[in-house]
Structure 1
Amino acid sequence: MAAVVGLSACGGKKSDSKDSASSSSSATTAQPQSELAKLSGNEISEKSKQALTSVTSMHMKIDRPGGSGNLDLTLDRQGNCVGTVFKGGGTMEIIKIGNKVWIKGDEAFINRRGGHSERAKLFQGRYIYGTTDDDQVRKTGSACDLAALQAKMAGERDKEEVTKGAPTTVNGQPVIPITSSKKTVIDVAATGKPYPLQVTKADQSKMTLSDFDKPVQPKEPPADQTVDIAKLKEQQGS
């Protein structure tokens, strides 16, 4: 685009060297148009899908109307994860290192799940520890499965036609929005790699993605702050 502007300035009446230098400077400082702007909505969707499925780690924040089911997690493809799940008026911290999982609910979270039982009282202010060999632990830790999340998002887009919107910004970053037939809006980064930076569904639930390919280094909680769920089940015969 800048080259076209420069050539147009040199056409017609001959200009002096000062004018030519001015035109050259203007062309040099002109901002290049995003490559995505030249593509169709489906082409942008495909590029952002490829960018998403190539990442090895990311930060994911999900906000849903009402707040229940919200997530704030950093996760990678090696099974490492750290963050918070908001559900039922309470919060649950989650730490996952490979196949090891630690979860700690606040008082509201525990009370909603039978917090007055003798077993639940053991969990107050402590992490529940287990491995993904346990079905319930594996289910809880599934939120940390980056590969499954990538496959799900890519699969959803394969089934939909999308349209391209006008360039805008999200959190200060230039994006090009694309909208699916189900009214899901995906804001794709217009500079650098075409990552999907924000996904907004028709019900106004919103997923924000960032910190792509940055190391995830969760720390294992101290042993004296944990309850081993396998040992507890063995002691209580359940």
Structure 2
Amino acid sequence: MRTRKAALAGVLCAGLSLALTACGGTAEDPDAGTNGVGKLEAAKIQDKARGAARDASSVHLSGSVVSQGRTYKLDMRLKRDGGTGRVASDASTFELLRVGDELYLKAPAAFWSRGDKGDGAAAAGKLEKKYVKVPTADPAYQQLKGFTDKDVLLDGLIALHGKLARGEHGTVGGDRTIRVNGAGGSGGTLDVSLTGTPYPLRVQRAGGAGQLELSEWGKDFALTAPAKPDVVDYGKRIPSGEGASLPGPSK
């Protein structure tokens, strides 16, 4: 009888070894079947994610960024040579399109009028359905371009602060991930894909300065300049009163 009980216990342990560590088995390896970055040191995981982001031809970025007390909601598709999408804040909402060095801004009449009445409001109404070309010499150009510059934007967003530590395994959008924490999480967190290329999939910025999700890595999309009849070109500088104080991420 004792022999039969021992044999039965052995069969149960063998059958449940993946779930019952008390039977002498080992816990399932969370990195089994992954790209292996989950076993690296935290700094190396961040480096892998940054390198993958730089090498990618495109990305879809969505979420919020807090800069100098203002929250921007971003929904941008970015490529090496430009980008397109929407930027919204409590003060304004506008669309951006950049093809190479050509940068265009599209916004509702309220954005252009800034409380103007009469002729100013009428002029703003005419711009509502137009793409206004932002001159490279205009002070707003570099600020607005930053929203559409894949490498510049991602390098700044992926940066964590403080001592880095490897965090928990998890999932983002159904993809298995490994988390990297900066300063115990107060310096930001970065979730990196454990499937295929180690792309960054989610960023929580230090100090509660926003959260962004990164998806559709390497997925191509159309990026073409608007038709000439849809463009307003002021030349070297947007006239005062019509965009001289265009918002940007550093304002």
TM-score, structure 1 as length reference: 0.72
Question: CA–CA distance in 2 between the matches of 1:40 and 1:55?
Answer: 23
Structure-1 residue corresponding to 2:37: 36
Q: CA deviation at 1:93?
A: 1.1
Larger helix percent: 1
* Alignment pair present for 1:152 and 2:147: no
* Alignment pair present for 1:60 and 2:61: yes
Structure-1 residue corresponding to 2:211: 206
Structure-1 residue corresponding to 2:76: 73
* Alignment pair present for 1:120 and 2:124: yes
Structure-2 residue corresponding to 1:188: 192
CA-atom RMSD in angstroms: 3.2
8 A Cα contact 1:89 1:108, kept in partner: no
8 A Cα contact 1:88 1:109, kept in partner: no
Question: Which amino acid is 1:99 matched to?
Answer: D
Question: Which amino acid is 1:37 matched to?
Answer: G
Q: CA deviation at 1:232?
A: 8.5
Q: Which runs of 5+ in 1 are unaligned?
A: 1-18, 20-29
Question: CA–CA distance in 2 between the matches of 1:233 and 1:110?
Answer: 11
Relative distance call for 1:147 and 1:42 in structure 2 (3 A) is closer
* Alignment pair present for 1:166 and 2:171: no
Question: Which amino acid is 1:177 matched to?
Answer: R
Relative distance call for 1:183 and 1:68 in structure 2 (3 A) is closer
Relative distance call for 1:232 and 1:167 in structure 2 (3 A) is closer
The number of equivalent residue pairs is 204
8 A Cα contact 1:82 1:96, kept in partner: yes
8 A Cα contact 1:91 1:108, kept in partner: no
Question: CA–CA distance in 1 between the matches of 2:64 and 2:152?
Answer: 20
Structure-2 residue corresponding to 1:51: 52
Question: CA–CA distance in 2 between the matches of 1:162 and 1:231?
Answer: 45
Which 4+ stretches in 1 moved above 6 angstroms? none
Q: CA deviation at 1:161?
A: 2.2
* Alignment pair present for 1:225 and 2:230: yes
TM-score, structure 2 as length reference: 0.69
